[in-house]
Chains A and B, each alone.
Chain A
C-alpha cells in the first residue's frame, strides 16, 4: 500500500518538478556527478543510463552504497540536509541523461502538503530503506567471504601442519621399519645352523598374531591335559602361533620350552613392528595427501589388484565382517597411482565397516563390485548398515565432517575428503546411494588414453 502511494507520488514529482528542458545534464561514462563531502543543492532524476554511489570511510575503504537507474532520484539526502554535503561520490557507469531541480524550483501546491520536504517524504524514506537493505546485503556477502577465507586458511595451515608432522613421522618410521628388517635378517643368519629354530622364527614372523585371546585360552587347556607340561609352560606355549602338533614335534626333536617360546616371540614381535610401521605410514600418507598434493607416480595398474591389496591392508579390521568380492571377467587396468587408489578403497571399506559396527548389524556384509565398460570403470563398496542420515548426506565429503566420535585418525573427518580429492584428480566421480538398508559408494573412473 505504502509503495503504491510512493509510486504515485514519485510519478507526480517527476511530472511536476523535472520537466524544465533547460535543467538537463549529460554525463559521459565515469564522469563524476557528486563528490562525497562537497555541497549539493540539486535533486537529479535519472532519465537514461545508470550511476553508482560510493562511500569512502575514515579508514579509506570504499564501498558501494547504491545504484541509480532510470526513474531513480539522486542527491536527495544532501539537498534536504541543512549542510547540503553529499554523503557519497556518485559516478556515471555509462553515458547518462539527467533532469534536475534546485532550490529555485518553486514548490507546487499538493494535497500532501505545500513544502518540498512533505512532498518528498515518501521517496526519502524509501531511498533510506533501500540503502539500508544494500548495506545489510553487503555485510552478509562480506561475512560469507570471511567464513570462506577462514576455511581456506584453516585447510592451508592444516596442510602445512600435517606436512610437517608427516615429515617427522616418516623419518621415525623409516628407522623403525629398516631396523626391524635388519634385525630380521640378522636373526635369520644367527639361526641358520639351527633349522628348527629358524622354522619357528620364520613361521611366527610370517603368520603374526593369528590367535584370539579366546583361542589361546582353549589351547592352554588342551596343552595342560598333556600332563608332561606344567601350567606355566602350557600357558606360554599356548600363546605361540605354532600348531599344537608342531609344538609336540619340536619338543620331541630336543628344543626346550623356553627356546620355542623365545624364538616364536622374537618372530611375532618383529612381525608387529613391521605391521605397525606400515599402518602408521598409511596414516601419515593420508595426512599428507590432504596437506600438500603432489603428483603421484602413475603406472599401469590392475584395479582388481588394488582392491585386493586394500582388503589385505584391512584384514585385521574385517575379521568380523563377511566380504563379498565380485569382479568382472576382464581385468581392467588404468594409469593411476596404486598408493592413491588404495587409499580411496581403504577409506570407503573402513567407513562401511565402521558403519556396520556402529549400527550393530547382526550379519555384517561388505560387497565390493568391479564393473567395466569401454569408457568407464566402476567400483562399488556396498554395506548392509542402516545408511547415512538424510541430514548428513550433503556434508559427507566436506573436510572435518565426521559422525565418528572415537578414534584419532578416523575421527578427523578427513577420509571422504581425501577420497573425493583423489577420485577427482583422475577426472572421476563418486556416486552415493544410501537407504536404511545400506549404503553404496560407487567410484567411477574414466578410461583415458594418454
Chain B
C-alpha cells in the first residue's frame, strides 16, 4: 500500500520536531516536515511529481514570510492538491485570520497550541479516514489510519 503523505509546517524547529514525532507515531503514513510555506510548496510539487499521495497539511499560522492561512488559501484557490485536508495549528490567531481560515482557506480543522497529543492524533486520523473514503480507497487497507467513529458516521450516515 502506498503511504499517504502528511506535510507539517512550522518555523520553530523545536516545535516542528515535536509535531513531526507526534505524527510519525502513526503507522502507515509518511511525514514530511518543512520550516516555511515556501519550502512546503516546493516539497508538495516534488512529491506530486513523484506520484505521491498528499492527504494532509498541518500548518502553523504565525511564520515569517507566508502565513499559514495565506498558504492554505493559496493551496485551496489553486487546487494544487485535489481533496487535500488541512489543519491550522496556532498559538494565537487574530479574528481576521480565523475568518479567512474558514472562508478562504476552508481549513478542515483548527487546533490550538499547545496541542493535546491524543486530540491531535484523533483529529488527524479522522481527517485521514475522510480522505481515504473520498479518494475511493479501501479503508481495510489502512487499518492504522482509520478513526472508527468517523468511519462509522461516514459509512452509516450516507
CB distance from A406 to the nearest CB of B (A): 5
The distance in angstroms between the C-alpha atoms of A213 and B8, with both chains bound, is 11
Chain A residues with CB under 8 A of B103: none
User: Most chain-B Cβ atoms within 10 A of its Cβ — which of A265, A357, A406?
Assistant: A406
The distance in angstroms between the C-alpha atoms of A214 and B39, with both chains bound, is 8
CB distance from A213 to the nearest CB of B (A): 5
The distance in angstroms between the C-alpha atoms of A83 and B16, with both chains bound, is 83
Query: When the two chains form the complex, which single residue of B13, B20, B34, B67 contacts A316, counting CB atoms closer than 8 Å?
Result: B13
Query: When the two chains form the complex, which single residue of A213, A357, A406, A407 contacts B34, counting CB atoms closer than 8 Å?
Result: A213
Number of interface residues of A (CB under 8 A): 18
Decide if A209 touches B67 in the complex (CB within 8 Å).
no
Chain A residues with CB under 8 A of B16: 213
Decide if A268 touches B17 in the complex (CB within 8 Å).
yes
The distance in angstroms between the C-alpha atoms of A214 and B13, with both chains bound, is 12
Decide if B35 touches A408 in the complex (CB within 8 Å).
no
| Residue A144, interface by CB 8 Å | no
Known: A276-B14, A406-B62. A212 touches B35 (CB 8 A): yes
Q: Would you list which residues of chain A between 27 and 65 have a CB under 8 Å from chain B?
A: none
Chain B residues with CB under 8 A of A405: 94
| Residue B64, interface by CB 8 Å | yes
Known: A406-B62, A407-B92, A408-B91. A213 touches B35 (CB 8 A): yes
| Residue B18, interface by CB 8 Å | yes
Chain A residue at minimal CB-CB distance from B61: A406
Decide if B13 touches A357 in the complex (CB within 8 Å).
no
Chain B residues with CB under 8 A of A357: 64-65
| Residue A272, interface by CB 8 Å | yes
Q: Enumerate 13 A-B pairs (CB-CB under 8 Å) in ascending A order.
A: A209-B13, A212-B13, A213-B16, A213-B34, A272-B14, A275-B14, A276-B14, A357-B65, A405-B94, A406-B61, A406-B62, A407-B92, A408-B91
The distance in angstroms between the C-alpha atoms of A78 and B96, with both chains bound, is 60
Chain B residues with CB under 8 A of A213: 16, 33-35, 39
9 pairs of A and B residues whose beta carbons are closest in the complex: A272-B14, A209-B13, A408-B92, A357-B64, A213-B33, A406-B62, A213-B35, A213-B34, A407-B62
Chain A residue at minimal CB-CB distance from B10: A213
B33-74 vs A: 1/0 string, CB under 8 Å?
A: 111000100000000000000000000011011010000000
How many A-B pairs fall under 8 Å by CB?
Answer: 36
Chain A residues with CB under 8 A of B17: 209, 268, 272
Number of interface residues of B (CB under 8 A): 20
B1-40 vs A: 1/0 string, CB under 8 Å?
A: 0000000000011101110110000000000011100010
Chain A residue at minimal CB-CB distance from B16: A213
Chain A residue at minimal CB-CB distance from B64: A357
Chain B residue at minimal CB-CB distance from A317: B64
The distance in angstroms between the C-alpha atoms of A208 and B17, with both chains bound, is 11
Chain B residues with CB under 8 A of A408: 91-92
Give 17 new A-B contacts, CB below 8 A, not counting A216-B33, A268-B17, A406-B92.
A208-B14, A209-B13, A209-B14, A209-B17, A212-B13, A213-B16, A213-B33, A213-B35, A239-B20, A272-B14, A272-B18, A275-B14, A316-B12, A357-B64, A357-B65, A406-B67, A408-B92
CB distance from A268 to the nearest CB of B (A): 7
Chain B residue at minimal CB-CB distance from A272: B14
The distance in angstroms between the C-alpha atoms of A337 and B100, with both chains bound, is 45
Chain B residues with CB under 8 A of A265: 21
Chain A residues with CB under 8 A of B33: 213, 216
Chain B residue at minimal CB-CB distance from A408: B92
CB distance from A179 to the nearest CB of B (A): 17
The distance in angstroms between the C-alpha atoms of A262 and B69, with both chains bound, is 35
The distance in angstroms between the C-alpha atoms of A107 and B35, with both chains bound, is 93
Chain B residue at minimal CB-CB distance from A210: B13
The distance in angstroms between the C-alpha atoms of A359 and B61, with both chains bound, is 19
The distance in angstroms between the C-alpha atoms of A214 and B38, with both chains bound, is 12
CB distance from B8 to the nearest CB of A (A): 9
The distance in angstroms between the C-alpha atoms of A272 and B17, with both chains bound, is 10
The distance in angstroms between the C-alpha atoms of A405 and B100, with both chains bound, is 15
Chain A residues with CB under 8 A of B92: 406-408
Chain A residue at minimal CB-CB distance from B18: A272
The distance in angstroms between the C-alpha atoms of A216 and B12, with both chains bound, is 15
The distance in angstroms between the C-alpha atoms of A272 and B16, with both chains bound, is 11
Chain A residues with CB under 8 A of B20: 239
Chain A residues with CB under 8 A of B18: 272
Chain A residue at minimal CB-CB distance from B96: A405
CB distance from B93 to the nearest CB of A (A): 9
